[in-house]
Structure 1
């Protein structure tokens, strides 16, 4: 081996030992008669020292000529440092170099390979192999490794079996766009890359593998953002002979295990929140419950007072920002501008200051009396010293805007501590949602989700009111996983396809293999899939998943390091039966 120890393991107990280290040159400090080198590998940094009259002249000269990121091997003796560095695990020792070998030279890197780098994101992605040498990125991938390991440990202890499912599958019409792969052997036909292993894991339940899991790559051709990539990883699970409660309890256990083993955090049982309550009180289906500040419906106290903006609105919503009555006009104007941004889309914002003396000052004093504003405060549970912020308009749009304003106020008030974890389950989602463009219902989750038993009779008569036997796990306002009890009865699955507007022929062409499998004894079953990249970024305290993926893509879906996607040549297209470019 080219090393006896790593650059992160030597301590005082090793003083006097002869060692061999290999790694990358972090920096060289040449003081003439003394030369220091910081040598780095993925385990840490060790200081090397050469001294005139002690170190061989040729070795000392080699040390002085080293550049950043040179790959070297050194031999020497571990000695105690005179000036210790308490910021390094190896800061009590250094290596007196006896021999040095340059294993490979290096060009000057385009950015500093340090914790605080001078490289922008685009540059770091282009030279990702250099970015991966930095401690923060390395630590992110170590965190990812630990989460995968502990996930396997927990599921293995619960009798799950890891099974690999195909990557080249059949395209389905539901969900996001598929990535298509042309078949050379079957001209004019295409595989799809899986958006999830959904049908295969259900078939495994029919096969008798009653507890399946897989940490699996999935693919969706959709617009990207900080928490999305065209290829991503799921913790994919399915169980047979279980109820919803069984699944919720078992996967609460998984998340508790991960939080305890990886973060050292213990959480109580997860609260359950109905989808309708999540939308009513938080404005979205992934509420951040680290802080209160619930949305309050002010229609009955704010409308019919002559203020046309409110009178003509479908909903008037308020939130109470505790202790913010001292906000200046400039601060409130900044908030108003913030909600007017295109990403939020509010037309304006009304405020009410609850003054310490019990009086009220608002931006709509012309239309509302002190008694009126007192009624607002009572509904919002606002106290003297608090600030009420109000938006109005169409129901869904206003809920979404107010949800964003709530999160922004939580951020500004320091209520969203990334080291605090508040999980919950959101349950009782609508089974179907109406699409105005296609004039038909679409599955809110996927077409294999079972209705709750008590709503089954409404599938034909009132499909929009049917609740799904589905559930999402949410932590700190991030949906990290979702699943459902599946339909295991062929007749009910056929009724579901009818509700979704599939013809018998379309259902047979797309899912005939699954329907036929159900005829051979499908057990009751359900499952869940967790966004593994999202869990990694959540545990790491980041809003972006990119730095938790070794080789990620940018917001245009490009890998700028290898310049992919890229054109192919005409001969390849011809082999695949695809029309040549003009």
Structure 2
């Protein structure tokens, strides 16, 4: 028999009764029923129940061992009585009568419970992440991640893409976040940068003639943590294609996402095909360029209705309305709670009216609406008996953000939210430029290396704020999975695009010399996208925080509490790297800077 096991803890069934077996694993739980010990033994594959009778050496040994001790047990498979079968376990029809035991790895008292959620805080969980990963939920999430990545590789290869690796030690990136830098011992005073994304390398692969590339790419960005973004490092499905237009990129990605979410989504339906929603339409209808389409409500811009109005709360402001049908049975508490939610999002309040059976409006602001206001609102919003309308007014961007959140919350509270589905969409037609409200300066609004729609002609003839780019996002259930673009591969168009944003030609030639050189030596039209693997798994696992799907994430301050990173380097190491430290002034929190 094998030194450690003849079977795993998830393998034995009723057909194995009377078989002598050897198992190894962790002591998951222990119950003492009248001197008879029942032990749950756990390994990677599952849980098997052990039985140790009173007066046996196995009973004596197992009664004193702490939970999470690693043991090897010998015993015989016996069937459970019908009343004792555990339908929750694949091994629930049998148990092991223990005849021998060996301790393989003793455990001290563990700092938190493994077999139940005891409410331990996240910092503690990250400090003992190897213990946290023993929990069923975390183990399941990591194995889901493994299966998803394996499936992505298989499906991308089947779609004709070739997996290629790009460098980790690279030059500083023109991406938007801060780089993580690595000092070069052989080149004193110089630094590598860890790639924020393989953007330039994958474009160079297209210029080199490889046509269809993909990679499960590690990316490094020195940015703050968010629920849907892990600080420090993350992984993305990096994709690039040659001789393509926007729809050519959408087709394989849409096929991949549909298959992936149907396979691993636990029965949740994937709506397909994915709608294409222009950026400006998304902001007007949903208040967000990451719309959650499970909410079956839409915002309506009614700013013009109140131009010159005597109602000061709306006059001269951007006004957005949210009509909500079928709320006649909702109590006043429904409206008050939704107003409180709006205040939490940054609003000063939430105006509303409701439509009575006779078509008249009632509510806090009904008396301020003229007959003409009511007529126009009824027609434009399609109001009928039982409807309510919520209003937001103020500066356009702020109102969009607040009412976008109210839209989703109102849908959830009023029964207009679709559960159990994955609703994808493409956000398209992003503006190439935007104006800084404080300085009035024209700058890039999204990705500066995207091809402008209309090419050089639009750059030369259109108002910069009217120029659209071949940029796109893929969104699922209100989570942006990725941005992508058709790349600007023509040097003169690229130089003109940067000129409009205030960059001198010499600066662009210097900062992006490598890419421009490549473009001037025969570059094909190309484009791509890079969906976040961590976010995909977060959605599939139905987890609210991305750290629940990463084996060893950093905490919110980009620290590894388990391994003690980042750490201080000894002076001898700093000298070897030709580095002198300049510490922040006393009292300054460098981690927050």
Helix, strand or coil for the counterpart of 2:249?
Answer: helix
CA contact (8 A) 1:309 1:392 kept: yes
From 284, 299, 319, the counterpart of 2:322: 319
Segments of 5+ residues of structure 2 without an aligned counterpart are 584-593
Q: Cα–Cα, structure 1 residues 69 and 406, in superposed 2: closer, same or farther, change >3 Å?
A: same
Helix, strand or coil for the counterpart of 1:311?
Answer: coil
Give the Cα separation in 2 of the matches to 1:409 and 1:455.
44
From 318, 333, 338, the counterpart of 1:335: 338
Give the Cα separation in 2 of the matches to 1:73 and 1:525.
57
**What is the CA distance between 1:369 and its match in structure 2?**
4.7
**What is the CA distance between 1:563 and its match in structure 2?**
2.8
**What is the CA distance between 1:277 and its match in structure 2?**
0.8
**What is the CA distance between 1:419 and its match in structure 2?**
2.4
1:132 matched to 2:133: yes
Aligned to 1:488: 489
1:272 matched to 2:273: no
Aligned to 1:576: 577
Show the 5 A alignment for 1:48-447: 48-52=50-54, 57-82=56-81, 83-230=84-231, 231-263=233-265, 264=267, 265-313=269-317, 315-341=318-344, 344-369=345-370, 372-373=373-374, 375-413=376-414, 415-417=416-418, 419-436=420-437, 440-447=441-448
**What is the CA distance between 1:385 and its match in structure 2?**
1.9
CA contact (8 A) 2:163 2:215 kept: yes
Give the Cα separation in 2 of the matches to 1:487 and 1:301.
41
Aligned to 1:13: 15
Select between 389-398 and 559-568 the one with higher mean Cα deviation: 559-568
Segments of 5+ residues of structure 1 without an aligned counterpart are none
Aligned to 1:499: 500
**What is the CA distance between 1:374 and its match in structure 2?**
5.3
**What is the CA distance between 1:392 and its match in structure 2?**
0.3
Aligned to 1:3: 5
**What is the CA distance between 1:488 and its match in structure 2?**
1.8
Q: Cα–Cα, structure 1 residues 559 and 416, in superposed 2: closer, same or farther, change >3 Å?
A: farther
1:538-570 superposed Cα distances (whole Å, 9 cap, x missing partner): 111122111000011222222222232233233
**What is the CA distance between 1:459 and its match in structure 2?**
4.7
Aligned to 2:588: none
Give the Cα separation in 2 of the matches to 1:383 and 1:369.
18
Aligned to 2:589: none
Aligned length: 576
CA contact (8 A) 2:320 2:391 kept: yes
Pairwise CA RMSD: 2.1
Length-normalised TM-score, structure 2: 0.92
Give the Cα separation in 2 of the matches to 1:104 and 1:414.
53
Helix, strand or coil for the counterpart of 1:288?
Answer: coil
CA contact (8 A) 1:115 1:135 kept: no
Give the Cα separation in 2 of the matches to 1:248 and 1:489.
22
Q: Cα–Cα, structure 1 residues 146 and 579, in superposed 2: closer, same or farther, change >3 Å?
A: same
Give the Cα separation in 2 of the matches to 1:111 and 1:385.
51
**What is the CA distance between 1:125 and its match in structure 2?**
1.5
From 12, 27, 30, the counterpart of 2:29: 27
CA contact (8 A) 1:150 1:261 kept: no
CA contact (8 A) 2:498 2:508 kept: yes
From 32, 45, 50, the counterpart of 1:43: 45
Q: Cα–Cα, structure 1 residues 441 and 174, in superposed 2: closer, same or farther, change >3 Å?
A: farther
**What is the CA distance between 1:522 and its match in structure 2?**
1.0
Give the Cα separation in 1 of the matches to 2:438 and 2:260.
42
Give the Cα separation in 1 of the matches to 2:366 and 2:495.
58
**What is the CA distance between 1:160 and its match in structure 2?**
1.2
Q: Cα–Cα, structure 1 residues 456 and 71, in superposed 2: closer, same or farther, change >3 Å?
A: farther
Give the Cα separation in 2 of the matches to 1:227 and 1:41.
30
Give the Cα separation in 2 of the matches to 1:303 and 1:444.
29
1:478-527 superposed Cα distances (whole Å, 9 cap, x missing partner): 11122111122222222223233332332223211111111221111111
